[in-house]
Amino acid sequence: MKKTFELIAPCHFGMEAVLKREITDLGYDIASVEDGRVTFIGDDEAICRGNVFLRTAERVLLKVGSFHAESFEELFQGTKAICWEDYIPQDGKFWVAKASSIKSKLFSPSDIQSIMKKAMVERLKGAYGVEWFPETGSSYPLRVFLHKDEVTVGIDTTGDSLHKRGYRTLTSKAPITETLAAALIMLTPWNKDRILVDPFCGSGTFVIEAAMMAANMAPGMNRSFLSEDWKNLIPRKCWYETMDEANDLLDSNVKVDIQGYDIDGDIVKAARANAESAGVDHMIHFQERPLAALSHPKKYGFIITNPPYGERIEEKKNLPDLYRQIGERYKALDAWSLYMITAYEEAEKYIGRKADKNRKIYNGMMKTYFYQFMGPKPPRPR
């Protein structure tokens, strides 16, 4: 019988329900849902499949322990009690890559990192009967969360964050992350049979993520992961089988109507290059086009977009006219829906309609709003 683990998948605050649904759809049981993370149960195969298939997770952590600590001595002893030898080989490279603390007596990340490293060394000295570790082998970086003096310890299986799909080499001024873009699309009822337009496409993230979903393209199939080198925990066969599964599910010939526009021609070229890198350029129509030209003859389409929200003071004076124009162009479309993420708090006022739903999302440290203006559903085919 395969060994099972608790796996932690961090995500953007407010996107936990979307990630939970993704994990459930992959076939894994949910252990807990907390602010900014979902914990689930899975084996070595789940580590591979989580990294390759999850669109909205930031990374996948292998949970190795949790304990209460109000002092550095309790932190040291709690860390030392974890069976590190079950996870880290004698030549493994190990360190605390990140420590975060909320409402806890221990709050200094550098002190937490230093003490936990010492405790791990002490444990592994006894386990392997050595006084020194070369750390020349595979990497096992730790991520540690302290919340109300409860310490949760996970080993990062991912490496570079999962939002780095590998396709976005060129970006616009204020790009939205790939994981957040995917999560926002998944909050809408859009599917591959419906029109999708982003009139502020920037580097193309929304339309590229939508095209990848339409083609059933696994977001991690064109990149590598840190735990691919963990031969002590994950057989290479697991990675091969997961990539075979991803390739079997891919439908790159799917027919879609996905369009990305931007007023900046250079940005459109960059978006097109990103789409080509992702392997979905044939699925997206890119064009240099102003917002004023936004139109479509068909009904029941979707606008999903991240318009400018005035990061600089001199830009803010243009926002009322911009958002008023968004509202006007939206009203001119027949039975469409509008989904928009922005940090501009007066967006609804100038759109000219109260949003059907308004979800607060923390994009990094910035509070943003996901406005959802829902049009009618198309009639069911007879």
The answer to whether residue 313 scores a pLDDT higher than 60 is no
Token pair 């999708």 is found at 196
**Where do the H-state alpha helices sit in the chain?**
16-25, 44-53, 72-80, 109-128, 178-186, 205-214, 236-249, 265-278, 313-316, 319-332, 347-351
CB under 8 Å to 111, separation ≥6 — which residues? 72
The answer to whether residue 24 scores a pLDDT higher than 90 is yes
Is the whole-model pTM more than 0.85? yes
3-class secondary structure, 255: coil
Q: How confident is the model at residue 152 (pLDDT cuts 50, 70, 90)?
A: very high
> Do the beta carbons of residue 298 and residue 333 sit within 8 Å?
no
Token readout for 310 is: 């005035």
**What rounded mean pLDDT belongs to the chain?**
95
Element (H, E) at 370: strand 366-373
3-class secondary structure, 71: coil
**Number of CB atoms found within 10 A of residue 246's CB:** 19
Domains of the chain listed by start with CATH number: 5-156 (3.30.2130.30), 178-217+225-373 (3.40.50.150)
Q: How far apart are CA 347 and CA 324, in angstroms?
A: 9
Q: What pLDDT does residue 171 have?
A: 66
Q: How far apart are CA 40 and CA 45, in angstroms?
A: 13
Token readout for 211 is: 């095209």
CA distances from 247 to 101, 135, 165 (A): 40, 35, 16
The answer to whether residue 48 scores a pLDDT higher than 60 is yes
Q: What pLDDT does residue 193 have?
A: 96
> Do the beta carbons of residue 106 and residue 75 sit within 8 Å?
yes
Which residue type does 258 have?
A: I
CA distances from 344 to 15, 349, 368 (A): 20, 10, 8
CA distances from 113 to 3, 68, 86, 94 (A): 28, 16, 21, 11
Token pair 């490496």 is found at 159
Q: What pLDDT does residue 360 have?
A: 85
Q: How far apart are CA 306 and CA 304, in angstroms?
A: 7
Q: How far apart are CA 151 and CA 144, in angstroms?
A: 7
Q: How far apart are CA 252 and CA 368, in angstroms?
A: 33
The answer to whether residue 376 scores a pLDDT higher than 80 is yes
The answer to whether residue 314 scores a pLDDT higher than 60 is no
Q: How far apart are CA 347 and CA 358, in angstroms?
A: 11
* Mean pLDDT of the region 75-98: 98
Phi/psi of residue 304, nearest 5 degrees: -125, 120
